[in-house]
Structure 1
Amino acid sequence: MIAEFGRYLRFERDLSPHTVRAYLSDVTALFDHLSNRLHGLDISTLREWLAEQHADGKARATLARRTACIRTFTAYCHRRGWLPDDPGLLLGSAKAPRPLPAVLDQQQAQAVLEAPSAGEPKELRDQAILELLYATGVRVSELCALDVDDVDRDRHVIRVLGKGRKERSVPFGLPALRALDKWCVHGRPLWIRAGSGAAVFLGVRGGRIDPGTVRRVVHARLREVEGAPDMGPHGLRHSAATHLLEGGADLRSVQELLGHASLHTTQIYTHVSIERLRTAYRQAHPRA
């Protein structure tokens, strides 16, 4: 049952490998609770299992994911005829906390992107990575998956494949274009190997760059900027979205740029902007 559920998640739902692993781990834990029997699974059993997870100190985000997983699993079992009804329909959705993300202010972002470069291939690549992450707000996985043909230099647009294999086009500005051109003309040709393929960004051995390398690049550059919070590529994504809203972009446009399926996900950036307004108000208003 677990193996068939995994195939359903991979090939029909087209979920990411990370999500599939997490869901299968959750279902395995549920079967352990049920002594490896599906018979008798009902809403009381599900609530009891989740209550045990809560008592064991599981985080709210973990409980929210496990609730979503179990609802997906029981619906699948009901469709397959393994359960006479779907007890997951009666299971309430646990709300995961939504902490405000750390973001750079615009001066810090400028300092991150204007660090001096000696023109070595690694420095050219790192600069292009940072410029493109901040200019587009793409996810690190989307950046690593970029091929040369995904970049439209004339229109200043990149084509990315996001979550759920949804394709979208994201614009970028002149600074990112200049950094990308320097890397592709003066850096990338020096690192190309037989297995490089069409990847835009390469590692030092010529293979497609991996997310871990991009994270190290971002952390290293942020350490050079005084007062900048320590964050990874997702922090640059948060910063780009926040600065877009502060500059007057509407929430729907930011949703499209980030590739969010729901506007509710994008709304967290309005909270960040409001929190900055509160901070400025407290610092500046004489009767704050």
Structure 2
Amino acid sequence: MPILDPLRPVLKRLCAFKQSDAPLLVGPRGGFLTTATVRDATSWDQVVADLGLPNLTRHGLRHTGATWLADAGVPLHVLQEILGHASIETTRGYLHPDDRHLASAAEQANAFLSRDTPRNPSRRPRQGTGRGL
């Protein structure tokens, strides 16, 4: 399993005193780690309120992480595998362009439209011939 470099020392500490077949993370009574346990252990509601982001959810962070990976160039089919989605369309739904990307797209369009190349305004786009490419 690929591991991000900043997590390596943390995982090393967590594994230091565990047997190889023991779960890495467990709940407070030694059972499964649930989302409720994580929420309570991290004081999630208070943290997001303090940040002024009361609507931020852990699942929202999953969307953010997927978007960042896509922005970094990770292919969609790889993101699908990382997120455990059966459908690539579900993975697409996790990707959200932010204002920077929208502004960048507008800048690219403006640059294209303002190129110093001769244009012939009377020329119209070619119509399809119905004969394929």
Alignment partner, residue 172 of structure 1: 3
For 2:43 and 2:67, the matched residues in 1 are separated by 18
Residue deviations 1:1-39 (CA, integer Å, cap 9, x gap): xxxxxxxxxxxxxxxxxxxxxxxxxxxxxxxxxxxxxxx
Alignment partner, residue 205 of structure 1: 29
Q: Give the greater-gyration-radius structure (CA).
A: 2
Seen in structure 2, the aligned counterparts of structure 1 residues 226 and 202 have a Cα distance that, compared at 3 Å, is same
| Among candidates 69, 76, 82, match of residue 257 of structure 1 | 82
Q: Aligned letter for 2:9?
A: R
1:90-105 equivalence runs, <5 A = none
State the Cα distance separating 1:184 from its structure 2 match.
Answer: 3.3
Any conservation in 1 of the 2:14–2:24 contact (CA below 8 Å)?
no
Seen in structure 2, the aligned counterparts of structure 1 residues 229 and 181 have a Cα distance that, compared at 3 Å, is farther
For 1:212 and 1:254, the matched residues in 2 are separated by 26
Seen in structure 2, the aligned counterparts of structure 1 residues 218 and 174 have a Cα distance that, compared at 3 Å, is farther
For 2:82 and 2:35, the matched residues in 1 are separated by 20
State the Cα distance separating 1:209 from its structure 2 match.
Answer: 2.0
Any conservation in 2 of the 1:242–1:273 contact (CA below 8 Å)?
yes
Instruction: Indicate the SS of the match to 1:179.
Output: helix
- Unaligned regions of 5+ residues in structure 2, if any? 111-133
Residue deviations 1:26-61 (CA, integer Å, cap 9, x gap): xxxxxxxxxxxxxxxxxxxxxxxxxxxxxxxxxxxx
Residue deviations 1:95-150 (CA, integer Å, cap 9, x gap): xxxxxxxxxxxxxxxxxxxxxxxxxxxxxxxxxxxxxxxxxxxxxxxxxxxxxxxx
More strand per residue: 1
Alignment partner, residue 126 of structure 2: none
State the Cα distance separating 1:236 from its structure 2 match.
Answer: 2.4
State the Cα distance separating 1:235 from its structure 2 match.
Answer: 2.1
1:137-176 equivalence runs, <5 A = 157=1, 171-176=2-7
Any conservation in 2 of the 1:218–1:232 contact (CA below 8 Å)?
no
Any conservation in 2 of the 1:244–1:254 contact (CA below 8 Å)?
yes
Q: Does 2:8 correspond to 1:184?
A: no
For 2:46 and 2:5, the matched residues in 1 are separated by 21
Identity of aligned residues (%): 35
For 2:68 and 2:46, the matched residues in 1 are separated by 19
- Unaligned regions of 5+ residues in structure 1, if any? 1-156, 158-170, 190-196
> How many residues get paired?
105
| Structure of higher RCO (CA pairs closer than 8 Å, 6+ residues apart) | 1
More helix per residue: 1
Alignment partner, residue 97 of structure 2: 273
Alignment partner, residue 214 of structure 1: 38
| Among candidates 44, 48, 54, match of residue 223 of structure 1 | 48
State the Cα distance separating 1:213 from its structure 2 match.
Answer: 0.9
- Name the stretch that deviates more: 209-218 or 257-266: 209-218
Seen in structure 2, the aligned counterparts of structure 1 residues 178 and 228 have a Cα distance that, compared at 3 Å, is farther
Instruction: Indicate the SS of the match to 1:273.
Output: coil
